[in-house]
Amino acid sequence: MNDVKETIRQFILSAHLPGESPDNLKDDTPLQTSGILDSLATLGLIQFVQEQFHVELDVYDTSVERFDRIQDIAASVARKRAVGAHPS
């Protein structure tokens, strides 16, 4: 889980916040609702998460409520991986 969060953090910092100190981007920093990521940047992050962690995210997973903080995104990844590992 921590690896996932760190990977997402590094991606956001390098792609959208060049020059920012990593300490300022916390697990609970709002991303979409704060203005840090606009819709295009969010799309890039969705694409990155899908490819990096081999998960499929749909409209539900990527709604503002579930895709606004690094901790929420990492939780979605964990949930998707758990479903993938134990198909019902």
In angstroms, rounded to a whole number, what is the distance separating the alpha carbons of residues 39 and 22? 22
Counting Cβ atoms within 10 Å, is residue 30 exposed (0-12), middle (13-18) or buried (19+)?
middle
CB closer to another protein out of 35 and 86:
35
Residue 52 found at the interface with another protein (CB under 8 A): no
**Quick check: 42 and 32 in contact, CB under 8 A?**
yes
How far apart are CB 70 and another protein at their closest, in Å? Answer: 12
Decide whether 40 or 85 has the Cβ nearer to another protein: 40
Determine the interface stretch with another protein among 3-11, 19-27, 68-76, 77-85 (rule: CB under 8 A): 19-27
Please work out the total of residues on this chain that contact another protein, with binding judged by CB under 8 A.
26
CA distance 45 to 42: 5
Q: Is 75 in the site for another protein (CB under 8 A)?
A: no
